[in-house]
């Protein structure tokens, strides 16, 4: 399953991004680009007391490619200028994404683009270059098989028509490999439908048959053969670990009962147990937010 979300990655710094570029059109090599980008955060890592040689950061950013090395070089140069600011470590996670980075690393998959003239299958740099269908959207999608970005249309289809995924607000969930496909049939939950094993189907009410939770009407529901309302702490979650409402979590490997989420200071095994949704060193703690979580990734 492939997930595409128009929400960026861990932080604005990661969403911008410094993914690897080739050196055949004026850009740095993948390894050099990754080293330069990760180095921008070394002072921030030191200030935060996060030890690490940034090996993971460098490896990650050297694996994913851009088909526009010149734009990627402009992107890293702009970030190097931004990092000279005294408040860089406080503002990097909310800094606006340079236009060069958008050209170098187009992000497919959400609710953007479609105002251009390029047809499906055309090579592209940004979503805005691609032509959208009358009922749907267009994106510039990076194909990891071909290592090239092409315009791809997401056509919202009707119940009974073939589909490869479901749109849920800003998230598009696509099942299977769509490499080389430039016209995709997508069911839109906003229209009352979801993709059910390759065919667009109506959302089901509580009690109706379902194949996954995207097929159920409403938000506080889950799917276990039929759509069911989530339950509060004290009730059973034996049929699904997703059965608990927002005030609880499922003790899946113990009582199979929904337990109340824990306040800060209490012991935890995972972030789902905490009211803050953040378990730090086995203790519920204040959620550091996307910027701090991104820094943890960039430092190690």
Question: What pLDDT score was predicted for residue 109?
Answer: 40
Q: Which residue has the higher pLDDT, 297 or 218?
A: 218
Spatial distance between the Cα atoms of 99 and 35, rounded to a whole number of angstroms: 21
Say what the pTM is. 0.59
For the chain, domain boundaries = 2-105, 109-229, 231-297
Summarised one tens digit per residue, pLDDT across range 178-230 is 888 999 999 999 999 999 999 999 999 999 999 889 999 998 999 999 999 99
pLDDT of residue 111: 43
* Average pLDDT value over all residues in the chain: 81
Where b means 16+ CB within 10 Å and e means fewer, 168-179 reads beebbbbeeeee
Q: CA 289, 292, 295, 299 torsion: positive or negative? A: negative
Whether 16 shows a pLDDT value over 50: the answer reads no
Mean pLDDT of 106-132: 75
Does the pLDDT of residue 4 top 50, yes or no? no
Q: What confidence category does residue 106 fall into, taking pLDDT thresholds of 50, 70 and 90?
A: low
- 3-state class (DSSP) for residue 152: strand
CA-to-CA separations, 179 to 21, 64, 166, 174, 272, in angstroms, rounded: 21, 16, 17, 12, 34
For residues 145-153, give the mean pLDDT.
88
Average pLDDT over residues 257-282: 91
Q: What is the pLDDT of residue 292?
A: 64
Nearest to 142 by CA among 33, 63, 66: 66
């Amino acid at each position: 399953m492939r997930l595409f979300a128009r929400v960026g990655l861990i932080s604005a710094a990661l969403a911008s991004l410094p993914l690897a570029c080739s050196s055949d059109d004026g850009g740095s090599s993948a390894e050099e680009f990754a080293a330069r980008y990760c180095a921008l955060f070394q002072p921030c890592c030191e200030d935060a007391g996060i030890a690490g040689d940034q090996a993971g950061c460098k490896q990650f950013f050297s694996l994913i490619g851009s088909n526009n090395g010149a734009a990627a070089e402009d992107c890293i140069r702009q970030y190097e200028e931004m990092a000279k600011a005294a408040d860089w470590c406080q503002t990097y996670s909310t800094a606006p994404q340079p236009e060069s980075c958008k050209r170098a690393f187009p992000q497919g998959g959400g609710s953007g683009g479609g105002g251009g003239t390029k047809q499906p299958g055309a090579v592209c740099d940004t979503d805005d270059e691609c032509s959208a269908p009358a009922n749907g959207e267009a994106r510039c999608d990076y194909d990891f098989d071909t290592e090239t970005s092409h315009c791809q249309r997401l056509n919202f289809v009707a119940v009974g028509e073939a589909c490869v995924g479901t749109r849920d607000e800003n998230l598009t969930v696509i099942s299977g490999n769509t490499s080389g496909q430039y016209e995709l049939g997508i069911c839109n939950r906003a229209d009352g439908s979801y993709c059910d094993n390759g065919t667009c189907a109506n959302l089901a009410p509580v009690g109706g048959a379902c194949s996954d939770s995207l097929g159920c009407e409403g938000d506080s529901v889950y799917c276990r053969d039929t759509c069911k309302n989530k339950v509060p702490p004290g009730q059973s979650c034996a049929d699904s670990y997703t059965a608990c409402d927002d005030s609880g979590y499922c003790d899946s490997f113990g009582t199979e009962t929904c337990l109340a989420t824990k306040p800060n200071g209490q012991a935890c095994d995972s972030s789902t147990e905490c009211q803050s949704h953040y378990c730090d060193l086995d203790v519920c703690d204040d959620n550091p937010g996307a910027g701090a979580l991104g820094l943890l990734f960039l430092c190690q």
